[in-house]
C-alpha cells in the first residue's frame, strides 16, 4: 500500500478523439489523483501513430476553460440576449418534461425536433446514435443529418452498392497516381499525408483538384482548379482521354460492371475541349492528366465532403467512383476511390437505435433546413427543439432565417452544450454536457478502418452529464417505462457490437476495452471480386437510380448557381464563394479558444488579383461579402491561390466573436443538393465590396 506521503499511481486510459474528422485518432489520457494531466496520441495505433493535430493539443485546457458550462440554466432575458440563472437538474428536467408533454398532448410527438450535430461522432453519445431510442419512444420528428456527407454517400451507393464503402485510404501507400479530389488532408486529416508521403517515396505522382490552392495543393506535384461544382464533367473528360486511347480495362469491365456501353457513349459526349469550357481548366492539362490516368496503375482517388456540397454533388461522387471501374483500379491494392469507410463496420444498428419503438414512420426534418423547419413547417409546426452536439447558429445555412426561427416566443428550446454559444443564447433551458474524457463512447471512422473504444478517464466537472444520462433521466421524468431507455452506456455498446460479422472477427466490448482499438477485417482490395450492389457489380447504369427518378447513368449534373454565366444572378453576384475547413477549428468546435482564434486570424476574403482590382480592393482591406440571403465581413487577401471568379473564405467562426456578427453561412441557401437533401455550401454566388 502507498503511505500518505506517496502520490496516487498514474493511470493511462484508452480513448479516441470525438470530433468530426476522418482520422478519429486513438489517444491516451494520463490521470493522476483523479485529474487528467496529459493527453497524447496512442503510439501503438497503426494509422494515427501517436500524433494529434494542432486542434487537439490544448484539449485538456479546453475541458477546464473558465467559461465552460457546469450547471443547468434557465433563460431570464429576451431570446438571443444570453441572460440565464442557475437552476437544479430536478428543476430543469421537470420543466423540460412538462413542456414536451404539453407539446405532445396538443400537437403530437412530431412537433418535437431533436436536433443533433457532429460535435461528437460517437455511436453512444454522438451523431451515430445518441438519444434515438428516447426520440423513437416519444414519436418525435426524425432528424435527417444532411449537413455533411449525404449527397456523396447516396451517389457512392448507386455506383458501388453501399453508401459508406470504398478503398481503404491506408492503401494509398501502394498507389502510383494519387488524386486528391476536393481534399486537403494537411488541414483536415493530416495522418493521410504520411501515407501519401510513403507513396511518393515509391514514385507516386500526387494531383490535387480543388478550386483553391490549399496547403495540400501547394505541396502536390500538380494542381487543377476547376470552376466549383464541375468535378463530374472533369471526371468524364479524363475518362474520354482514357477510352480514346483504348486504355480501359476491358476484362474488368466485362466481369465486374453493368451498363458499360451506355456509359461509354456518355463519356464520348465530354471531349477535353468541351470539358475545358465547362471547368475552366485548359485542355492541355486535362489531356495530360487523362494520359497519366490511362497508363498508371494503381491509381487511388481520395474524395472528401467539401467537393459534393453543391447541386450536383451526389452525381459528382458517383461519377468519380466510376473512374476505377473503367481503369480496373478496383482490382488493385492502392486503387479505387475512397469517400467514406464507415460501412465496413457491420454493427447492429437496429439494436442500438430501437426504431421498433415508434408507432409509425415519422416525418423527416433536414438538418440544413432548420430555418425553414422552424418558420414554415405546419403539419405539425415545430413547437420544441432539443439541440445537442451542434451550434446551428454558426454552422447551418441561412443564419438570418435560423435566427428568426429561434426568436419565436412559442418555441421551447433546450440546448445541451459545453460553452455559451450563439445557439445557447436562444435557449429556454441550457444543459451542461460532458466532454470525451468524462464519458464512454464507441467510434468508427470515415477515413480509416479501425474501431475505437473511449473509456471515461476522469469525473465530470460541476454537474455535467453525458447525453445518455440526460436521456435516461428525462425518460424517467416523462414516465416512460420501456426498459431499453435505461440501458447503461456499456449496454448500448454491447447492443451495436452484437452482430455476426463482428463476432466472427472476435470483437467484443471487453476486447476493445483491453486494447482501445481494433482493425476491422477489410482486405487491401475489398471489391476485387465483386461489389455490394444488387447486381454484384459496379453499376455505371443503376436501375435503383431510375426507380428513384434520377438519370440512371453516371454523368454530370450542373450545380444550382456556380456555373451560371449570362443570368441576372451571375451579373448581380459574379463570384463563387468557397468556405472551406479551417486549419485551427473543427467546424465550429474550438472557434471560441483564444489561442486557436489567434492562429487562425480574422475571417479571410481571398480574391484573385483580377477580381480584387475590378473592385478596388487591396490586401488588408475590410470587406463585406453578400447576396440576397445575408452578408458577413472579413479581411481581403489578394492572391492567385484562387482562380478568377472564386472568392475563398473559412467556415467555423462563431458569429458572436467576429465583426458583423455573421460568418459565411449567412450567405448560403437552404436549397438541397441533387441526392439525399445534401447541403450546398459551395454552390453560392456572392459579391464583395469594400466595407464603408
* CA distances for 385 relative to 233, 411, 425, angstroms: 41, 7, 14
ω before 380 within 30° of 0 (cis)? yes
> So what's the pLDDT on residue 5?
44
Distance of alpha carbon 410 from alpha carbon 406, whole angstroms: 10
**Which burial class, exposed, middle or buried, applies to 110 when counting CB atoms under 10 A from its CB (0-12, 13-18, 19+)?**
buried
- Count other Cβ atoms within 10 Å, centred on residue 687: 18
Residue whose C-alpha cell is 489517444: 27
> So what's the pLDDT on residue 2?
41
> So what's the pLDDT on residue 3?
41
Please list, residue by residue across 210-236, b when 16 or more beta carbons sit within 10 angstroms of its beta carbon and e when fewer do. Answer: bbbbbebbeebeebbbbbbbbbbbbbb
DSSP 424-447: GGG-SEEEEBP-GGGS-EEE--SS
> So what's the pLDDT on residue 129?
83
> So what's the pLDDT on residue 6?
53
Domains of the chain, CATH where assigned? 11-63 (2.20.25.90), 73-148+353-452+461-519 (3.40.50.740), 156-339 (3.40.228.10), 568-690 (2.40.40.20)
Checking DSSP bridges between strand 336-338 and strand 299-303, what pairing results, if any?
parallel
Task: Kindly provide the residue ranges of all beta strands, DSSP E only, lying in 512-554, ordered along the sequence.
Answer: 517-519, 538-539
Q: Output DSSP code: residue 596.
A: H
* CA distances for 391 relative to 58, 61, 395, 594, 678, angstroms: 21, 21, 6, 18, 18
Please list, residue by residue across 421-457, b when 16 or more beta carbons sit within 10 angstroms of its beta carbon and e when fewer do. Answer: bbbbbbbbbbbbbbbbbbbbbbbbbbbbbbbbbbbbb
Distance of alpha carbon 128 from alpha carbon 414, whole angstroms: 20
Residues shown for the chain:
692
> So what's the pLDDT on residue 1?
39
Residue whose C-alpha cell is 427543439: 385
Residues in the chain with pLDDT values less than 70: 1-7
- Bridge partner list, 622: 635
Directed axis angle between helix 467-477 and helix 89-107, to 10°?
60
- What pTM, to 2 d.p., does this model score? 0.97
Residue whose C-alpha cell is 454558426: 394
Beta-carbon contacts of residue 360 (< 8 Å; ≥ 6 apart): 139
- Count other Cβ atoms within 10 Å, centred on residue 531: 22
Amino acid at each position: 500500500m502507498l503511505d500518505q506521503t506517496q502520490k496516487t499511481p498514474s493511470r493511462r486510459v484508452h480513448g479516441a478523439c470525438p470530433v468530426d474528422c476522418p482520422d478519429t485518432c486513438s489517444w491516451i489520457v494520463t490521470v493522476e489523483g483523479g485529474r487528467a494531466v496529459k493527453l497524447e496520441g496512442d503510439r501503438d495505433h497503426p494509422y494515427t501513430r501517436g500524433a494529434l493535430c494542432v486542434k487537439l493539443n490544448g484539449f485538456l485546457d479546453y475541458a477546464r476553460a473558465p467559461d465552460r458550462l457546469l450547471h443547468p440554466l434557465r433563460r431570464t432575458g429576451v431570446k438571443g440576449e444570453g441572460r440565464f440563472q442557475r437552476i437544479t437538474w430536478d428543476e430543469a428536467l421537470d420543466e423540460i418534461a412538462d413542456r414536451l408533454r404539453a407539446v405532445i398532448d396538443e400537437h403530437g410527438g412530431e412537433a418535437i425536433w431533436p436536433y443533433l450535430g457532429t460535435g461528437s461522432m460517437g455511436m453512444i453519445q454522438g451523431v451515430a446514435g445518441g438519444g434515438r431510442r428516447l426520440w423513437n419512444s416519444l414519436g418525435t420528428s426524425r432528424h435527417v443529418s444532411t449537413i455533411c456527407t449525404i449527397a456523396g454517400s447516396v451517389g457512392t451507393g448507386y455506383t458501388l452498392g453501399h453508401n459508406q464503402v470504398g478503398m481503404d485510404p491506408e492503401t494509398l501507400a501502394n498507389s502510383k497516381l494519387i488524386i486528391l479530389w476536393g481534399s486537403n488532408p494537411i488541414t483536415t486529416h493530416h495522418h493521410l499525408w504520411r501515407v501519401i508521403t510513403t507513396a511518393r517515396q515509391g514514385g507516386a505522382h500526387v494531383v490535387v483538384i480543388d478550386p483553391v490552392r490549399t496547403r495540400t495543393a501547394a505541396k502536390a506535384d500538380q494542381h487543377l482548379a476547376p470552376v466549383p461544382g464541375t468535378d463530374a464533367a472533369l471526371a468524364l473528360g479524363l475518362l474520354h482521354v482514357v477510352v480514346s486511347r483504348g486504355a480501359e480495362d476491358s476484362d474488368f469491365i466485362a466481369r465486374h460492371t453493368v451498363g458499360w456501353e451506355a456509359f461509354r457513349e456518355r463519356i464520348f459526349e465530354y471531349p477535353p475541349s468541351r470539358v475545358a469550357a465547362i471547368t475552366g481548366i485548359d485542355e492541355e492539362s486535362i489531356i495530360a492528366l487523362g494520359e497519366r490516368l490511362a497508363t498508371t496503375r494503381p491509381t487511388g482517388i481520395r474524395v472528401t465532403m467539401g467537393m459534393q456540397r453543391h447541386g450536383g454533388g451526389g452525381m459528382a461522387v458517383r461519377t468519380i467512383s466510376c473512374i476505377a471501374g473503367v481503369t480496373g483500379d478496383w482490382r488493385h491494392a492502392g486503387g479505387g476511390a475512397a469517400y467514406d469507410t464507415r460501412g465496413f463496420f457491420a454493427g447492429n444498428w437496429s439494436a442500438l437505435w430501437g426504431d421498433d419503438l415508434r408507432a409509425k414512420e415519422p416525418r423527416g426534418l433536414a438538418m440544413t433546413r432548420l430555418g425553414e423547419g422552424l418558420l414554415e413547417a405546419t403539419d405539425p409546426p415545430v413547437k420544441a427543439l432539443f439541440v445537442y452536439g451542434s451550434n446551428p447558429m454558426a454552422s447551418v445555412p441561412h443564419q438570418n432565417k435560423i435566427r428568426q426561427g429561434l426568436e419565436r416566443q412559442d418555441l421551447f428550446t433546450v440546448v445541451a452544450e459545453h460553452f455559451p454559444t450563439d445557439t445557447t443564447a436562444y435557449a429556454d433551458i441550457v444543459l451542461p454536457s460532458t466532454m470525451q474524457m468524462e464519458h464512454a463512447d464507441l467510434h468508427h471512422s470515415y477515413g480509416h478502418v479501425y474501431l475505437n473504444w473511449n473509456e471515461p478517464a476522469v469525473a465530470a466537472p460541476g454537474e455535467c452529464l453525458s447525453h445518455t444520462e440526460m436521456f435516461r433521466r428525462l425518460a424517467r421524468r416523462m414516465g416512460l417505462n420501456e426498459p431499453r431507455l435505461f440501458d447503461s452506456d456499456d449496454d448500448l455498446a454491447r447492443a451495436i457490437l452484437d452482430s455476426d460479422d463482428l463476432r466472427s472477427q472476435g470483437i467484443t466490448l471487453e476486447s476493445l476495452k483491453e486494447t482501445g482499438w481494433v482493425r476491422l477485417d477489410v482486405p487491401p482490395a475489398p471489391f476485387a471480386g465483386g461489389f455490394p450492389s444488387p447486381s454484384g457489380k459496379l453499376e455505371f447504369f443503376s436501375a435503383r437510380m431510375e426507380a428513384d427518378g434520377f438519370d440512371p447513368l453516371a454523368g454530370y449534373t450542373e450545380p444550382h448557381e456556380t456555373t451560371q454565366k449570362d443570368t441576372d444572378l451571375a451579373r448581380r453576384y459574379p463570384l463563387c464563394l468557397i468556405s472551406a475547413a479551417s486549419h485551427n477549428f473543427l467546424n465550429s468546435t474550438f472557434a471560441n479558444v483564444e489561442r486557436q482564434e489567434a492562429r487562425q486570424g480574422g475571417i479571410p476574403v481571398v480574391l484573385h488579383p483580377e477580381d480584387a482590382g475590378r473592385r478596388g480592393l487591396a490586401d488588408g482591406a475590410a470587406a463585406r461579402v453578400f447576396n440576397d440571403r445575408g452578408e458577413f465581413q472579413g479581411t481581403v487577401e489578394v492572391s492567385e491561390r484562387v482562380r478568377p471568379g472564386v472568392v475563398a473564405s473559412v467556415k467555423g467562426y462563431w458569429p458572436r466573436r467576429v465583426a458583423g456578427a455573421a460568418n459565411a453561412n449567412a450567405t448560403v441557401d437552404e436549397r438541397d443538393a441533387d441526392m439525399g437533401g445534401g447541403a450546398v455550401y459551395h454552390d453560392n454566388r456572392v459579391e464583395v465590396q469594400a466595407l464603408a
